[in-house]
Amino acid sequence: MPATVIVGLQWGDEGKGKTTDFLAEQVAMVVRYQGGDNAGHTVVTGDEVFKLHLVPSGVLYPHITSVIGNGVVVNPATLIAELDMLTGRGIDVGRVRVSRSAHVIMPYHVALDRGNEARLAEAKVGTTGRGIGPAYGDRAWRLGLRMEDLLDRSVLRTRLEAVLPDKNLVLGGMGANGFTVDAMVDVAAAWGERLAPHLDDSTWLVQAALARGEHVLLEGAQGTLLDLDHGSYPFVTSSNPVAGGACTGGGIGPLQVDEVLGVMKAYATRVGSGPFPTELQDEIGAGIARRGNEFGTTTGRPRRVGWFDAVPLRYAVAVNSISSITLNKLDILSGIPEIQLCVAYDVHGRRVDHWPSSALAIADATPIYETFPGWDEPIHDVRSLAGLPENARRYLTALEELAGVPIVLVSVGPERTQTIERAWRPMRHRGGVPLA
């Protein structure tokens, strides 16, 4: 029963979309397990660029069942727009399934997210403004609406009558407009009508696929350093991107996961506020941002850029039980004379090798770097490790040694085929992948 979890090892935008699309060719099902339309996953095939926020990145293959799991918070308006966009571009969305128990992001969640950020001013988290925190908050508070509730106007009315007065009070305090029960029932019921054919019991869908011996990919959103438990709270998202989140949010048990593939890029980026010890505010950083096109897929905000940080990498490998790694965007480092790699921190004169659990310690960390000679030549057309410049191989080997886990895929461009596959890759050697 092979299930592979794909998880971001940094602050998101590591190229999970590209990696998922690349691997999806050989599997039967791809499941999103957490997050919402704060995610922006880019898939490039030939001249076509797809930016996906909710639909899993396997959707471009006709043989894939794409599942939005119970752990995802769904803004139905975004989902409908995405399904329409895909249909308009010739992609069959008939096999997109949405968990009946996934929670709904309502318009008041979006308004609360934005109002709260405005109120925090300088102390803001820098959220994507998509209502993620308030929707997960209502889920935990047992005040949320689930996708199946959209199918029943009387359920909607009862739940909204209980919830909206408090929401309107808070929104009023923020100087924002409130919402009426009637309007919300109409909007939500229309979403339900449109999405009804896609709603399903996602847990049993996934379990049935695994029981048939089909290979299931679980696609994480965000990254380990944005995890609600493991990131630098409060500068985190409101879900668990780590591999454990694939169990709770995807409907599988821990022993059903047989591979956890970590996705990282050759440098670091972060969108929004929060500590970022290796951040670059010089020309080198600006060059990486320019060549790497580091602008948020969801909000268009410039991403902060820095050198690769191996301190949180070791932490991410541990908490996700990473078994193999994809290294993306190695091509972006071509042309930099010297590449710095952070191997430890100096915190108040003390060397720290472990990612500190204290946000205060991270804020005071000064990186200790090892310097690697760079390489000049573009590497977009390289398709084997042996074909990489020697200095690129050295950098890659250093990353691999610091992670303690094999790098099995190396990406040298955004397009599907711009990928170096190592001869050894666990997924290839597992049996029982009957593909149509």
36-65: contacts with ligand IMO (CB under 6 A):
38-41
Q: Which residues pair with 6 in a beta bridge?
A: 219, 261
Residue 292 touches Mg ion, criterion: CB under 5 A: no
CB burial readout 302-341, b (16+ within 10 A) else e: ebbbbbbbbbbbbbbbebbbbbbbbbbbbbbbbebeebbb
Closer to ligand IMO by CB, 209 or 228: give it. 228
Q: What are phi and psi of 324, to 5 degrees?
A: -160, 165
When binding is defined by CB under 6 A, the residue of 111, 242, 412, 420 that contacts ligand GDP is: 412
- Residues 6+ away with beta carbon under 8 Å from 111: 131, 171, 176, 177, 179
Residue 13 touches ligand IMO, criterion: CB under 6 A: yes
Specify whether the CB–CB gap between 148 and 199 falls below 8 A.
yes
Stretch that binds ligand GDP, among 37-45, 145-153, 207-215, 423-431 (CB under 6 A): 37-45
328-387: contacts with ligand GDP (CB under 6 A):
328-329, 331-332
When binding is defined by CB under 6 A, the residue of 12, 56, 69, 244 that contacts ligand IMO is: 12
Stretch that binds ligand IMO, among 8-16, 43-51, 76-84, 149-157 (CB under 6 A): 8-16
- The three-class DSSP label of residue 8 is strand
Q: Which of 264, 262, 266 is nearest to 374 (CA)?
A: 266
Tell the smallest beta-carbon distance from residue 264 to ligand IMO (Å): 12
Cα–Cα–Cα angle for 127, 270, 137, nearest 5°?
30
Stretch that binds Mg ion, among 38-46, 69-77, 201-209, 338-346 (CB under 5 A): 38-46
Specify whether the CB–CB gap between 344 and 311 falls below 8 A.
yes
133-152: contacts with ligand IMO (CB under 6 A):
133
d(CA 20, CA 43): 9
Q: Which of 62, 51, 47 is nearest to 16 (CA)?
A: 51
When binding is defined by CB under 6 A, the residue of 19, 66, 224, 297 that contacts ligand IMO is: 297
Specify whether the CB–CB gap between 266 and 328 falls below 8 A.
yes
When binding is defined by CB under 6 A, the residue of 97, 413, 420, 427 that contacts ligand GDP is: 413
Active-site annotation holds for 258 = no
Closer to ligand GDP by CB, 285 or 414: give it. 414
Which string of x and - marks every residue 202-241 that binds ligand IMO (by CB under 6 A)? -------------------xxx--x----------xx---
Stretch that binds ligand IMO, among 7-15, 97-105, 155-163, 205-213 (CB under 6 A): 7-15
Catalytic residue among 37, 41, 113, 138: 41
When binding is defined by CB under 6 A, the residue of 19, 20, 70, 127 that contacts ligand IMO is: 127
Number of residues near ligand IMO (by CB under 6 A)? 24
Active-site annotation holds for 41 = yes
Tell the smallest beta-carbon distance from residue 14 to ligand IMO (Å): 7
d(CA 214, CA 29): 8
Residue 272 touches ligand GDP, criterion: CB under 6 A: no
Q: Which does 288 bind (CB under 5 to 8 A by kind): Mg ion, ligand GDP, ligand IMO, none?
A: none
- % helix, strand, coil for the chain, step of 5: 40, 20, 40
d(CA 98, CA 249): 12
- Residues 6+ away with beta carbon under 8 Å from 385: 393, 396, 410, 420, 422
Q: Which residues contact ligand GDP (rule: CB under 6 A)?
A: 8, 12-18, 40-42, 44, 293, 297, 328-329, 331-332, 411-414
Q: Which residues contact ligand IMO (rule: CB under 6 A)?
A: 8, 11-13, 38-41, 125-128, 130, 132-133, 221-223, 226, 237-238, 271-272, 297
Catalytic (active-site) positions: 13, 41
